[in-house]
Amino acid sequence: MQYFYGKTVLVTGASSGIGIAFSHELASYGASLVLTARRKDRLDALAKEIRARFECEVTVLPCDLSEPGGPETLVRAIQEQEVAVDILINNAGFGFNGSFLEGSPEMYQKMMQVNMGALVMLTRLLLPDMVRRGSGGILNVSSMAGFLPIPYFAAYSATKEFVINISWSLWKELQGTGVHVSALCPGPVDTEFMEVAGVDRKKAAFRGLQSPESVAIRGLRGLADNSPLKLSRTLLRIPYLLSKWVPVRLGLLIGGLAMKK
Ligand SMILES: NC(=O)c1ccc[n+]([C@@H]2O[C@H](COP(=O)([O-])OP(=O)(O)OC[C@H]3O[C@@H](n4cnc5c(N)ncnc54)[C@H](OP(=O)(O)O)[C@@H]3O)[C@@H](O)[C@H]2O)c1
């Protein structure tokens, strides 16, 4: 995709799943990369592999985005390397499947910080330079879980609705600035997300998992086209449209049945 050629892209959550797939795709389009996540060993291994395959520039900057001040520390480290970020991919995130009270207060704090707080802060810190340059892009990874409230996935689905809403608003606000904004909404994807969230892969709602590669390509296409909302597969249009029309109580019933353990 020509849009990414010669650009420097910051990918959060690059140590696993969709983040790894974004990184490979972007390198194949001729982008330079700044990779971040907590697991440095994984980022180093990915950087080595990508440099060998594509001869592109890759900077590794580990960061815990759940820590207060994490995004600010990351942006300072990027500035110290004298790297200008053209495109930000807010991909890091995690979920929790279970009754609300089974989740610890600390876990919810971290989830809100990684899924929402860090996304807002990184965007706020990196956007001014994009606007000044008259070009740039913000790709926010949301989820189809953000279409409706989902019992037993309550906090996660709420954080992903936040991501959809803020992406729509920024897309509108930034029209005419040259900065693209897109929210990617994947359905279930074959990554470590399931194990981290405690989701049972055998559940009907999690059959037919998409590959992280196909999801990453759709997301990057969405950003290149400046689509405010990109579904990871065409079939997701059905639940998306239904979520706009079914009464919330019916949605809660279906969502609850899908996610109850
Ligand atoms: N898989 C799905 O079914 C699915 C569906 C819809 C949306 N999504 C969304 O897609 C995005 C990517 O998830 P994935 O499926 O690729 O899951 P994954 O394989 O578990 O990857 C999650 C990434 O987020 C990073 N991360 C988690 N906590 C972090 C923290 N405190 N600080 C910094 N980085 C952190 C992880 O890195 P470290 O652990 O190394 O820090 C990892 O690189 C997430 O936003 C997720 O909500 C996934």
Domain residue ranges in the chain = 2-259
pLDDT of residue 45: 98
pLDDT band at residue 66 using 50, 70 and 90 as cut-offs = very high
Please write the tens of the pLDDT for every residue from 120-157: 999 999 999 999 999 999 999 999 999 999 999 999 99
pLDDT of residue 17: 98
Q: Which residues contact 217 (CB under 8 A, 6 or more apart)?
A: 25
Ligand 1 lining (C-beta closer than 6 Å)? 13-19, 37-39, 64-66, 91-95, 114, 141, 143, 186, 188-189, 191-193, 196
Could you tell me what percent of the chain has a pLDDT over 90?
Answer: 88
Ligand 1 centroid–CA 127 distance in Å is: 22
Q: Which is catalytic among the residues 3, 108, 156, 240?
A: 156
- 214 in Cβ contact with 189 (< 8 Å): no
User: How many residues are recorded in the chain?
Assistant: 261
Instruction: Give this prediction's pTM.
Output: 0.97
CATH superfamily of 2-259: NAD(P)-binding Rossmann-like Domain (3.40.50.720)
- Mean per-residue pLDDT over the chain, rounded: 96
Q: Distance between terminal CA atoms of the chain?
A: 41
Ligand 1 centroid–CA 13 distance in Å is: 5
Catalytic residue at 5?
no
Ligand 1 centroid–CA 44 distance in Å is: 17
**Could you give phi then psi for residue 134, rounded to 5 degrees?**
75, 20
